[in-house]
Amino acid sequence: MQNLKCDILIIGAGSGGLSVAAGAAQMGADVILLEGHKMGGDCLNYGCVPSKALIASGGRAQGMRGASAYGVASVEPDIDYAAAKDHVHGVIDQIAPMDSVERFEGFGVRVIREYGRFVSETEVEAGDYRITARRIVLATGSSPLVPPIPGLSDVPYLTNESLWELRERPEHLLVIGGGPIGMEMAQAHARLGSKVTVIEGAKALGRDDPEAAAIVLDRLRSEGVEIVEDAKVTKVAAGITVEVEDGRSFTGSHLLVAVGRKTNTERLNLEAAGIETTKAGIQVDDHLKTSNRRVYAIGDVAGGMQFTHLAGYHAGIIVRSAVLGLPAKAKTDHIPRATYTQPELAQVGLKEAEAREKHGESMEVARFDFHHNDRLIAERQTTGFIKAMVVKGKPVGVTIVGAQAGELVNLWSLVIANGLKMSAVSAMVSPYPTVGEINKRVAGAYFTPRLFENETVKKIVKLVQRWLP
């Protein structure tokens, strides 16, 4: 057993762990990074990157079906599912060097390709190494949750990890779970020629604003996706038949399980380090510190929202705190999320119902519908809306559904993170015609009743006009 010492030990080379490693090492800290599986973690290899690549393939196919709206003949695409998967893996391969061992060793990080486990509060074993670190960062991420459904283990099923090795297009894909992953993959496969049935125990896209989610679900249904809600799965039988509580059953050729994720803590031996956990993951405070004050947890494993960009944000907190020794707290009110169906669905801050419950009558809703945006009219993508929940001039939440919702929400994360008012959004100038004008227009919708429907304003304007030379 070889003994090593370092300033910062990072366990897990996903988005969060890599960001901490790069930042800390380039600032002069002695950094060791452990990864027993794939560099880049879930996002690069199984999650964000491959899913968006497959969504892009589906989008191209769907565009061919609807081309006549633009004066181009519509055709039914000739789809090569295996080639679409080649595209997916090509995208992964193109991005992979950014997350490679060689790149991080170039930053001065010592990368050890082993899993790590605690043997004391300050020591971790990884393969033939015992590592003592001044600070330890747990960035082990999460994995697909496979629920204990009777019969599931007796049939072949897919998760977001195994889906990418499938080379033959599913004739009929059954999806258990109507969350973002399930709905994204349902639409992508339907567009690539599969029959798709989504089985959801509660409401599909149930975490999102119901009005916005309905627009997405209507589109998916119009494209042939069968969405079965309030259908709790009770059994999976041979032949890939899914039975639900009310007696209905659904038979398909392939089964994708997309009911959520579980944090990766099994290998860590957290008890040896005195680190407490909850049902959601590792317990952390506002500084991302665990019950062992030398150990931080970031990203999915910290038991909160499970987004790659949140892990990256957490990494910045750690660099500030553990590397520079500066005070830093993690917040969540400005963390956006997006579902990359078409139309897209994005949210930052409070949803309308949450804002009403928290702020009561002091909360106002400003809204702008996409069918008033000239660029989207030109591109025939006018389905959707944006609404901002505003309290005393400041947005506390924004919901967007429609084309490029995931891009539009960026601005609102900036606004909420910096405590800006709607006047700041109203003051910006967007080039015409762009989709980005939508953000300015919803700010205009907030001020319209104050300026154009206010009798006091009208009286002041008349008085000013009378006295102007």
Strand, coil or helix: 374 = helix
Asked if residue 227 and residue 306 are part of one domain, the reply reads no
Q: Mind listing the pLDDT tens digit for each residue in 49-80?
A: 999 999 999 999 999 999 999 999 999 999 99
Residue 453 confidence class, pLDDT cut points 50, 70, 90: confident
Domain assignment of residue 463, yes or no: no
pLDDT for residue 449: 85
Nearest one of 355, 335, 359 to 347, comparing CA atoms? 335
Asked if residue 412 and residue 389 are part of one domain, the reply reads yes
Asked if residue 156 and residue 140 are part of one domain, the reply reads no
pLDDT for residue 462: 83
pLDDT for residue 398: 98
User: Is pLDDT above 90 for 455?
Assistant: no
The answer to whether residues 77 and 64 touch, using CB atoms and an 8 Å cutoff, is yes
Asked if residue 118 and residue 35 are part of one domain, the reply reads yes
Q: Mind listing the pLDDT tens digit for each residue in 267-281?
A: 999 999 999 999 999
Nearest one of 45, 2, 51, 36 to 139, comparing CA atoms? 36
In total, how many domains does the chain have?
3
Residue 189 identity = H
Asked if residue 109 and residue 220 are part of one domain, the reply reads no
Strand, coil or helix: 147 = coil
DSSP string, 69-93: GGTS--------HHHHHHHHHHHHH
pLDDT for residue 338: 98
Q: Which residues pair with 235 in a beta bridge?
A: 243
Q: Mind listing the pLDDT tens digit for each residue in 126-174?
A: 999 999 999 999 999 999 999 999 999 999 999 999 999 999 999 999 9
Q: Mind listing the pLDDT tens digit for each residue in 173-230?
A: 999 999 999 999 999 999 999 999 999 999 999 999 999 999 999 999 999 999 999 9
Q: What is the mean pLDDT of residues 325-351?
A: 96
Q: What is the mean pLDDT of residues 338-365?
A: 98
Residue 463 confidence class, pLDDT cut points 50, 70, 90: confident
pTM of the model: 0.95
Nearest one of 364, 368, 377, 373 to 443, comparing CA atoms? 368
pLDDT for residue 7: 97
pLDDT for residue 451: 72
User: Is pLDDT above 80 for 232?
Assistant: yes
Asked if residue 297 and residue 401 are part of one domain, the reply reads no
**Helix (H) or strand (E) segment spanning residue 255:** strand 254-257
Asked if residue 353 and residue 212 are part of one domain, the reply reads no
pLDDT for residue 61: 98
**Please, is 357 exposed, middle or buried when counting C-beta atoms within 10 Å of its C-beta (0-12, 13-18, 19+)?**
exposed
Q: What gap in Å lies between CA 79 and CA 84, rounded to an integer?
A: 8
Domain assignment of residue 71, yes or no: no
pLDDT for residue 373: 98
Q: What gap in Å lies between CA 272 and CA 337, rounded to an integer?
A: 35
Q: What is the mean pLDDT of residues 239-250?
A: 96
pLDDT for residue 254: 98
Q: Mind listing the pLDDT tens digit for each residue in 313-330?
A: 999 999 999 999 999 999
Domain assignment of residue 54, yes or no: no
Q: Residue 373 maps to which CATH number?
A: 3.30.390.30
Asked if residue 252 and residue 129 are part of one domain, the reply reads no
Q: Mind listing the pLDDT tens digit for each residue in 420-451?
A: 999 999 999 999 999 999 999 999 999 988 87
Asked if residue 28 and residue 168 are part of one domain, the reply reads no
Domain assignment of residue 252, yes or no: yes
Asked if residue 311 and residue 170 are part of one domain, the reply reads no
pLDDT for residue 415: 98
DSSP state of 405: H
Residue 114 confidence class, pLDDT cut points 50, 70, 90: very high
Q: What gap in Å lies between CA 467 and CA 469, rounded to an integer?
A: 6
Domain assignment of residue 68, yes or no: no
Please give the residue range of the domain that contains residue 165: 152-259
Residue 284 confidence class, pLDDT cut points 50, 70, 90: very high
Q: What gap in Å lies between CA 211 and CA 399, rounded to an integer?
A: 10
Asked if residue 251 and residue 120 are part of one domain, the reply reads no
Asked if residue 353 and residue 376 are part of one domain, the reply reads yes
Residue 400 confidence class, pLDDT cut points 50, 70, 90: very high
DSSP string, 76-140: -----HHHHHHHHHHHHHHHGGGG-HHHHHHTT-EEE-S--EESSSSEEEETTEEEEEEEEEE--
Q: What is the mean pLDDT of residues 275-299?
A: 97
Q: Residue 202 maps to which CATH number?
A: 3.50.50.60
Is the peptide bond prior to 449 cis by the omega test (within 30 degrees of 0)?
Answer: no
**Helix (H) or strand (E) segment spanning residue 313:** helix 308-318
